[in-house]
């Protein structure tokens, strides 16, 4: 019947399309295989991967693709048996697949020749890199001897670049050696002994630790002396000074029998001790509580004139003799911190009111009554007591007006709340 004929033709067209799709995919895989084998490897690892691929290409690629091509040809014969033309372009693709095994074989032979050339080139490159590494190694040994000869902490700023460069080179050398060893394994050649690098790195480590500490401390001290005093945090400076004091002593002990690094550690420790004399100034003035008014008060009591237009530094204070007025620094700092404590306490009380609110509930009469008054009253009582304590402090003067206003507001609200509650209670009993 016509319906059966149409259905059969539809099925045959679908099978033909499937055959063409399979033929296209097989050709694509042949082309990928040929291109991969023909492409020159970028490095030794890629070369080893390509060699492994070539060795297994017959078993893993050629034979499976040939079998799939035979299946396509069998399907073509089946469709043609029903007098259905799959198309000359499909037939051409299917037969083209049978040409690829020979093409792959020729590509593999050429690839083998090229891989051998590439191997020789890579091995020559490896030899050059190893020789360059050996030359660099001699330079690093010389640099280490130079580091060992350094005998004064005052050189810290000048030697920093060479110290860090040598450390970076020795760190990078580990990667270079790992690359050499890996490539030697790939080429299946005798592996060189690179253990002398670990020895050099171990020998340099204590010197690097010493000089890194010295360089960082010298930089920090410079910043503490010449940077803006407002940017310093007393606790951080104190911790760093204490840590460097301890670490410089440990470094001195660790280099027993080596006079040069011991001298560096000793001089650094002396520099830390000398700077420690400035800590009372930093501790007193590098606090959040210290304001411009406190600094002006200090200069007035010291009877000095300091230009703070570009910011105040520790060096500027030392130049006007602040170390001779530590008692004044301590007194002003103590007063400022007490004042700051009162300011914080007042601000904290105000913040506690931000989330405090009255509630209302509906009375049977249709009006509304106040609820939550107990919490409000408790907070009012607590704050009134705290505010009165602040007013009684000898350090309240800078914020005295603000505290009085706050006290007045609290008392006023307390009285108002009491009147509200009295009116509400009276109304309920009517």
Query: Inter-axis angle of helices 44-55 and 156-187, to 10 degrees?
Result: 20
166 with 278: CB under 8 angstroms? no
173 with 133: CB under 8 angstroms? yes
The phi, psi pair for 383, rounded to 5°, reads -70, -35
> What is residue 138's predicted lDDT score, i.e. its pLDDT?
95
Name the nearest CA neighbour of 350 among 399, 410, 390, 393.
410
pLDDT tens for each residue of 142-161: 999 999 999 999 999 999 99
pLDDT tens for each residue of 20-46: 788 888 888 878 888 887 788 777 677
> What is residue 111's predicted lDDT score, i.e. its pLDDT?
66
- Between CA 217 and CA 244 the distance in angstroms is 7
3-class secondary-structure state, position 395: coil
Helix boundaries (H) for 353-395: 373-391
pLDDT band for 1, please (50, 70, 90 cuts): low
Output b/e per residue, 83-103; b: 16+ Cβ within 10 A: ebebeeebbebbeebeebbee
Which residue did the predictor score with more confidence, 95 or 330? 330
pLDDT band for 341, please (50, 70, 90 cuts): confident
Torsion of CA 138, 143, 146, 152, to 10 degrees: -170
Please list the residues that pair with 228 across neighbouring strands.
313
Q: Is the pLDDT of residue 430 over 70?
A: no
Beta strands in 159-251 (DSSP E): none
pLDDT band for 90, please (50, 70, 90 cuts): confident
Which residue did the predictor score with more confidence, 328 or 94? 328
> What is residue 147's predicted lDDT score, i.e. its pLDDT?
96
Average pLDDT over residues 247-257: 94
First to last CA, the chain: 103
> What is residue 42's predicted lDDT score, i.e. its pLDDT?
77
Output b/e per residue, 311-321; b: 16+ Cβ within 10 A: ebbbebbeeee
- Between CA 201 and CA 140 the distance in angstroms is 10
Name the nearest CA neighbour of 335 among 292, 304, 289.
289
pLDDT tens for each residue of 93-132: 777 777 777 777 777 776 667 766 767 777 778 888 889 9
Cα–Cα distances in angstroms (integers) from residue 199 to residues 196, 202, 205, 212, 273, in the given order: 5, 5, 10, 20, 35
Which residue did the predictor score with more confidence, 56 or 121? 56
Name the nearest CA neighbour of 30 among 61, 76, 68, 75.
61
Q: Is the pLDDT of residue 310 over 90?
A: no
> Which two structure tokens, joined as six digits, stand for 356?
């405090």
Q: How many helices (H) and strands (E) does the chain have?
A: 16, 2
- Between CA 147 and CA 152 the distance in angstroms is 11
Q: Is the pLDDT of residue 51 over 90?
A: no
> What is residue 115's predicted lDDT score, i.e. its pLDDT?
64
Q: Is the pLDDT of residue 317 over 80?
A: yes
% of the chain exceeding 70 in pLDDT = 95
% of the chain exceeding 90 in pLDDT = 41
> Which two structure tokens, joined as six digits, stand for 404?
């009085």
> What is residue 344's predicted lDDT score, i.e. its pLDDT?
87
> What is residue 234's predicted lDDT score, i.e. its pLDDT?
92
> What is residue 192's predicted lDDT score, i.e. its pLDDT?
80
Which residue did the predictor score with more confidence, 55 or 329? 329
The phi, psi pair for 369, rounded to 5°, reads -115, 155
Q: Tokens 């530094």 correspond to what residue? A: 313
> What is residue 2's predicted lDDT score, i.e. its pLDDT?
72
The pTM for the full model equals 0.66
> What is residue 126's predicted lDDT score, i.e. its pLDDT?
81
16 with 79: CB under 8 angstroms? yes
pLDDT tens for each residue of 361-397: 777 777 877 776 788 888 888 999 999 998 888 888 8
Please list the residues that pair with 370 across neighbouring strands.
360
């Amino acid at each position: 019947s016509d319906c059966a004929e149409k259905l059969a033709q539809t099925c045959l067209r679908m099978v033909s399309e499937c055959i063409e799709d399979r033929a296209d995919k097989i050709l694509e895989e042949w082309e990928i295989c040929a291109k991969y084998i023909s492409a020159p490897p970028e490095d030794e690892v890629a070369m080893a991967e390509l060699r492994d691929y070539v060795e297994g290409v017959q078993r893993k690629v050629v034979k499976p693709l040939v079998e799939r091509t035979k299946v396509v040809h069998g399907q073509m014969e089946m469709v043609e048996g029903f007098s259905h033309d799959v198309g000359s372009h499909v037939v051409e693709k299917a037969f083209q697949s049978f040409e690829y095994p020979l093409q792959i074989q020729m590509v593999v032979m050429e690839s083998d020749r090229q891989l051998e050339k590439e191997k020789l080139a890579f091995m020559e490159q490896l030899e050059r890199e190893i020789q360059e590494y050996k030359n660099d190694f001699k330079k690093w040994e010389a640099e280490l001897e130079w580091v060992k000869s350094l005998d004064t902490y005052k050189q810290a700023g000048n030697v920093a670049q060479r110290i860090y460069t040598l450390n970076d080179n020795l760190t990078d050398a580990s990667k270079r050696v790992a690359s050499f060893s890996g490539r030697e394994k790939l080429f299946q050649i005798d592996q060189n002994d690179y253990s002398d690098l670990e020895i050099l790195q171990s020998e340099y480590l204590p010197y690097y630790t010493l000089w890194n500490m010295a360089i960082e401390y010298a930089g920090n001290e410079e910043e503490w002396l010449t940077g803006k005093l407002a940017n310093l945090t007393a606790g951080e400076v104190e911790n760093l000074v204490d840590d460097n004091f301890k670490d410089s002593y440990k470094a001195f002990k660790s280099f027993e029998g080596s006079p040069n690094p011991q001298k560096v550690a000793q001089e650094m420790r002396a520099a830390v001790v000398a700077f420690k004399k400035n800590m009372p100034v930093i501790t007193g003035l590098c606090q959040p509580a210290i304001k411009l008014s406190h600094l002006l008060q200090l200069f007035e009591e010291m009877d000095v004139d300091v230009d703070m237009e570009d910011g105040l530094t520790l060096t500027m204070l030392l130049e006007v003799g602040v170390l001779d007025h530590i008692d004044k620094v301590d007194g002003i700092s103590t007063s400022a911190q007490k004042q700051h404590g009162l300011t914080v306490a007042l601000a904290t009380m105000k913040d506690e009111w931000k989330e405090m609110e009255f509630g209302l509930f509906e009375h049977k009469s249709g009006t509304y009554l106040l609820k939550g008054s107990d919490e409000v009253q408790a907070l009012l009582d607590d704050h009134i007591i705290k505010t009165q304590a602040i007013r009684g402090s000898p350090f309240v003067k800078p914020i005295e007006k603000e505290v009085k206003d706050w006290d007045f507001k609290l008392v006023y609200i307390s009285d108002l709340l009491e009147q509200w509650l009295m009116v509400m209670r009276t109304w309920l009993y009517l």
